[in-house]
Structure 1
């Protein structure tokens, strides 16, 4: 199943991506009188993730019903959609630094012996097609294409062999960074948490559609020029190890987002005379195999 979160009439709504368009879940549930018949019917993406199998089964049944009814009015086309981040209200946004060998080498940093974990805050969330305003107090803006894990159930002290069973799904993340702020001190926080510094989306794809998260191609285009061309198989710490490691330090909750690191090709890795930092007017497109494409303009 593939879902999106979107804004309509000032309210967050849930959509299901189908070959007919995006199903407006709230409208379909009202049209087909499913809210009374099935109280597990989710109305937002967080309802869906936290509602477990009951919520997902209800949503799948509603989607099948809507498709069978041949009612085009409950489907939206892409040009009608104002996207929200694919996960709208995570308790935690956790990131893994230097998780690809070539990226670490290019950044002239030592390979980590254990996952390097840092955080982003909810103010950093940004949607597909949403503009990112560049702040006046930084100059070295950079992109980082990343596979994002979305946790589906509560877990603590998770064993690595069980870790992927805790995943609700996957989405595309961009660990947007201001490098001059990131390295102004030993703490990376300021360079990672500007407003809209965490584009996420557009779709949230359930784990059953991604047979192997360690074999997905990742690409970044800046103004249609390819800058990153990697694959998740090159991670130093794979997804299951990351989940297990984090869970031994804090409880993971449904809706938590984990950005798993970026492959080589970011601006920071280049020699100083070759660095072309992002600027107002630039366009960023990030593609991950089987997850789609997220696009943002800078202003």
Structure 2
């Protein structure tokens, strides 16, 4: 099942499921099974069998995508969490995950523009896999971590490198408006099987820039959940963005960074293709 958040024709935020190119509206403008995907997760209904009968339908090609979760309470991002990215950035030998935060209002959906700030000449991509928490998680053991995951989605942590590198804290370079691509779908964990067998690929104008199996994470998913929940409680609908492989634009070489009109795609096995086009801030 592929869950999608989108704008209805009247501009109302709603959600539904996408099946073979058709979206069944199950949100406020449809069957109203929940106000949004986060509420569905909180109610324990995410990933369960849903009654689609009588739900209004829309051609998926005609919807305006929103971030897979429009209102997460927390977005926890993990930096340099693939060995190849550690090596290209000179950050090997870490003994704990690098953690920073992204704000919910910096996110955008599939097909929305990725806005390159006027204040930068170093706009970059970071294809990643995001996981969404399904139930309250506090001091969770690695063994129990999988039970706390509702689902997974593609993520693009577009990064403003000069702002990111201006100081030791990365938050400024990670929180410009419309720089957190999230979607197109949120897929229940039970539908994916072993996520370590998934492959992440990032393309810029069709050129493959990043390609790695999720199994190449330096700190794997159980370790991340164990570490993060040791210092902050995660709640249903919170997001953990797990890290990007080697091949980011900053280290790609001449022409590696992004400019107006560049099309960036993040594809993960079973999660679809997240596509955003870079647009200069005006």
Tell whether the structures are fold-level matches, with TM greater than 0.5. Answer: yes
- 1:32-72 C-alpha deviation (Å, 9 max, x unpaired): xxx6xxxxx3232122111114x654xx3312x35xxxxxx
> Shift in Å at residue 28 of structure 1?
5.0
In structure 1, the gaps of 5 or more residues are 30-34, 36-40, 67-72
Name which of 14, 29, 44 aligns with 1:52: 44
CA contact (8 A) 2:210 2:246 kept: yes
Shifted more, 84-93 versus 44-53: the winner is 44-53
Q: What is the number of equivalent residue pairs in this alignment?
A: 277
Determine if the alignment matches structure 1 residue 223 to structure 2 residue 212: no
CA contact (8 A) 1:132 1:296 kept: yes
RMSD: 1.6
Determine if the alignment matches structure 1 residue 42 to structure 2 residue 34: yes
CA contact (8 A) 1:107 1:268 kept: no
- Using a 3 Å threshold, how does the CA distance of structure 1 residues 181 and 2 change in structure 2: closer, same or farther? same
Determine the structure 1 residue equivalent to 2:247.
265
- Using a 3 Å threshold, how does the CA distance of structure 1 residues 28 and 191 change in structure 2: closer, same or farther? closer
CA contact (8 A) 1:170 1:204 kept: yes
SS at match of 1:261: coil
What pairs with 1:135-150 in structure 2 (closer than 5 Å)? 135-150=117-132
Task: Quote the Cα distance in structure 2 between the aligned partners of 1:61 and 1:79.
Answer: 22
Name which of 264, 267, 282 aligns with 1:287: 267
> Shift in Å at residue 74 of structure 1?
2.2
CA contact (8 A) 1:48 1:56 kept: no
Task: Quote the Cα distance in structure 2 between the aligned partners of 1:79 and 1:18.
Answer: 12
> Shift in Å at residue 254 of structure 1?
0.6
- Using a 3 Å threshold, how does the CA distance of structure 1 residues 188 and 20 change in structure 2: closer, same or farther? closer
- Using a 3 Å threshold, how does the CA distance of structure 1 residues 156 and 282 change in structure 2: closer, same or farther? same
> Shift in Å at residue 270 of structure 1?
3.5
> Shift in Å at residue 108 of structure 1?
1.7
Task: Quote the Cα distance in structure 2 between the aligned partners of 1:197 and 1:108.
Answer: 25
TM-score (ref. length: structure 1):
0.88
Task: Quote the Cα distance in structure 1 between the aligned partners of 2:30 and 2:106.
Answer: 31
In structure 2, the gaps of 5 or more residues are none
Question: Which structure's CA Rg is the greater one?
Answer: 1
CA contact (8 A) 2:67 2:184 kept: yes
TM-score (ref. length: structure 2):
0.94
Determine if the alignment matches structure 1 residue 12 to structure 2 residue 13: yes
Determine if the alignment matches structure 1 residue 61 to structure 2 residue 41: no
